[in-house]
C-alpha cells in the first residue's frame, strides 16, 4: 500500500467522521435512535477506488474512531453495528465492482451491497437493540417491518445513489497514478 493510498484513505475516513458529526437526524419519530447520516459515502467511494479489502480496513478504522468520538454514546454496540452493517456492504459491493468495473457493475454492486446491509442490520438489530435499549426482543421484532427495514433501505439507498452520482468526479482526484 503506497503512502498516497494511505493518505487518501485517511482523508476519506476524516470526511466520513465529519459527515456523521454534522449531518444526522432520525427518519422515523417512533425510533429516534435510528438516524440517517451520509458517513458511509466516503467509505463506499474508497471501496470502489481501492477494493473490498482496503474498503473494509477503511470501514474498521472509521468505525472505531467515530465510535470513540462523535458517536461515543452508542459505545461498543454502535461500533460493532456500524462495522457489521458497513462492512457487509463494502465486502459484497467491493468484490462485485472489482470484478465488473463498469457503470452496470457499479449499479449491481450498489444494489447488492444495499440489500446485504439491510439484511445484516435486521439480524444485528434483533441481537443488539434489546441490549442497547434495554427492551424485550419482542419489541424489536415488532419494529422490523414498519421501522427497521424501511429505515435501513432508505439510508443505504440514499448513500448508494449519492455514491453513484459523485464517485466518478471524485475518483479522478483520488486515484493513484
Q: Which helix (H) or strand (E) holds 23?
A: none
CA distance 141 to 123: 10
pLDDT tens string 135-144 = 999 999 999 9
Give 152's Cβ-side CA count (13 Å radius): 25
Q: pTM for this structure? A: 0.94
How sure is the predictor about 8, in pLDDT bands with cuts at 50, 70 and 90?
Answer: very high
Looking at the chain, the whole-number percentage of residues with pLDDT higher than 70 is 98
pLDDT tens string 60-117 = 999 999 999 998 888 999 999 999 999 999 999 999 999 999 999 999 999 999 999 9
CATH, domain range 3-22+35-168? 1.10.1760.20
CA distance 128 to 1: 35
Amino acid at each position: 500500500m503506497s503512502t498516497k493510498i494511505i493518505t487518501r484513505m485517511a482523508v476519506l475516513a476524516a470526511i466520513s467522521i465529519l459527515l456523521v458529526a454534522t449531518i444526522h437526524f432520525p427518519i422515523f419519530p417512533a425510533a429516534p435512535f435510528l438516524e440517517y447520516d451520509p458517513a458511509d459515502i466516503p467509505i463506499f467511494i474508497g471501496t470502489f477506488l481501492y477494493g473490498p479489502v482496503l474498503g473494509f480496513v477503511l470501514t474498521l478504522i472509521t468505525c472505531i474512531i467515530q465510535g470513540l468520538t462523535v458517536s461515543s454514546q452508542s459505545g461498543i454496540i454502535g461500533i460493532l453495528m456500524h462495522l457489521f452493517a458497513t462492512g457487509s456492504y463494502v465486502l459484497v459491493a467491493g468484490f462485485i465492482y472489482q470484478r465488473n468495473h463498469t457503470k452496470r457493475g457499479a449499479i449491481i454492486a450498489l444494489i447488492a451491497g444495499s440489500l446485504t446491509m439491510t439484511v445484516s442490520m435486521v439480524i444485528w438489530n434483533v441481537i443488539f437493540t434489546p441490549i442497547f435499549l434495554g427492551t424485550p426482543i419482542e419489541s424489536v421484532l415488532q419494529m422490523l417491518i414498519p421501522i427497521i427495514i424501511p429505515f435501513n433501505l432508505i439510508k443505504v439507498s440514499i448513500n448508494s445513489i449519492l455514491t453513484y452520482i459523485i464517485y466518478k468526479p471524485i475518483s479522478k482526484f483520488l486515484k493513484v497514478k
